[in-house]
Amino acid sequence: MELCSVFLPTILLLLLSVLYSAILFFKRSAPPKATESLVLKSYPVIGNLPHFIKNGRRLLEWTTDLIASSPTGTVTVAPIVFTANPTNVEHVARTNFQNYPKGGEILSTFHDFLGRGIFNSNGEEWLLQRKAASFEFNTKSLRAFVLDKVRHETVDRLIPLLKRAGRSGEVLDLQDVLERFAFDNICSLVFGEDPKCLALESEDGERFYHAFHEATELSIERAKQPFSLIWKLSKWLDLESERRLRESMETVHGLVEKYVRSRRKLSREGGGSDFLSRFAADGAHSDEFIRDILISFVLAGRDTTPTALTWFFWILSSKPEVVEKIREEIRVIRSQRRNYDSEVLTLDELREMGYLHAALSESMRIYPPVPLRPCESRREDELPDGTRVRKGWTVMYSTYAMGRAEGIWGQDCGEFRPERWMEDGVFQPASPFRYTVFHAGPRMCLGKDMAYIQMKAVAASILEGFEVEVVENRGKHHLSMTMRMEGGLPVRIKERNIS
């Protein structure tokens, strides 16, 4: 009798919940008006979980199809709202920015790896890091430092590697080459330390590279779990995936903390141009906080530019006319500046390369490095297109779907056409609320200009000096921290005679 009295209220509450959900599910409501966003009908009790399980491996395609079928470019799959509507993006990313921070579940999922770094924080902690990073990114000395590191990595490592592969006929995984290139560069920028991953010359660098990659992948696997309780239980039980994550994080944190302690001592003697020297010289932050900030910077530089360049070279493999236009642009700029011998273009020359800039932008429109941008609603809200958002729901704008939206880019949105970015021979940028590759509003990417510098320097050097042949069928994506190419990009290199 006592047992019944304890469980009866719970059982009745559960039955009422099931009955209420069933009524909502079977209720025949009027079809949505032409101006209403699409709302995916959920199942009783379990909601939309079956939809996410069924489409988990094709999330981008599934949500893009749903968005395309919605009159407003928005679809509600409670508790998530997916949108490709520029007015909604502006509302979430700028107008009502304070209501849409990063969600608590996301922060919790990545906390072990990213701590309180800029990519895993809100409020004052985020603002503090944003202001400090914004100041650093806007200094001329930093831009010169970045280009100097890119030039060194290109001339001393990338070009010799490609020449050797061309002579031997070796097949290279271009995605792996570009990721190692980017990792060397971002570590030099952030820590003032060169891991020499592209040259395979450092055991510590190789260990850092692989540990960082594994920690990133396993953290993403956490985020893909339908309930956070699953990974938390796995962590408590010390299951294999969580054990591997802990071990890889220990490697990453240990090396970064070693760099921080070392630079603390040097900063008293004058410091350097890298981020670590600049933050260490401040003396206002703990070693752990600096560690978290720097890991976020490495994450940003390691993944995004190589992902963008991998898709770019894959697209160009079937666009010889675009390749020739880029090469002609390089020839013209070199001729005008009488720069015939340097293997890397100067900063001013790279900035003049409007067509290459357009081709890279067009590639990222179709294959954005970060295809989905989530945030969480603090309060109930209504988006500009009328979509209702409940407190605690996730609003996710899809850069991937926006790049394929006919309403934004026209009927030829499925075509790769760099000319859409050019007007009278000059590159014309798009609104960040239409072209969300670099985010928008207060969280807009601070490294955008430097990302373009690096991508243009690498792309120009490779296209000018080499023919790149893709030797295996590719084109499928793998969703990690970025939209990497599944299986890499195997290519064969042939050196060009440009004399």
Q: Tell me which DSSP letter residue 353 carries.
A: -
- At residue 28, the 3 state secondary structure works out as coil
**Alpha carbon separation from 130 to 110, 123, 125, 187, 301 (Å, rounded):** 19, 10, 9, 20, 16
Closest CA relative to residue 130, chosen from 141, 117, 143, 140: 117
Contact 226, 49 (CB under 8 A): yes
Q: Tell me which DSSP letter residue 365 carries.
A: H
Residue 375, marked binder: no
Q: What share of the chain is helix, strand, coil (3-state, %, to 5)?
A: 60, 10, 30
CB atoms within 10 A of CB 212: 25
What is the residue whose two structure tokens read 């009783």? Answer: 44
> In sequence order, what DSSP letters do the residues of 299-367 get, joined into one string?
HHHHHHHHHHHHHHHHHHTT-HHHHHHHHHHHHHHHHHHT--S-SS--HHHHHH-HHHHHHHHHHHHHS
Structure tokens, 322: 């675009």
Closest CA relative to residue 181, chosen from 143, 210, 211, 149: 149
CB atoms within 10 A of CB 291: 23
> In sequence order, what DSSP letters do the residues of 336-352 get, joined into one string?
HHT--S-SS--HHHHHH
Q: Tell me which DSSP letter residue 32 carries.
A: P
- At residue 258, the 3 state secondary structure works out as helix
- At residue 81, the 3 state secondary structure works out as strand
- At residue 480, the 3 state secondary structure works out as coil
Alpha-carbon distance of 473 to 351, in angstroms, equals 33
- At residue 161, the 3 state secondary structure works out as helix
Contact 366, 403 (CB under 8 A): yes
Alpha-carbon distance of 485 to 474, in angstroms, equals 8
Q: How many DSSP H helices and E strands does the chain contain?
A: 20, 14
Region of residue 139 (phi > 0: left; psi between -120 and 50: alpha; otherwise: beta): beta
> In sequence order, what DSSP letters do the residues of 387-431 get, joined into one string?
-EE-TT-EEEEEHHHHHT-HHHH-TTTTS--GGGGEETTEE-PPP
CB atoms within 10 A of CB 359: 28
Task: Give binding residues as ranges.
Answer: 445
Task: Give binding residues for heme as ranges.
Answer: 445
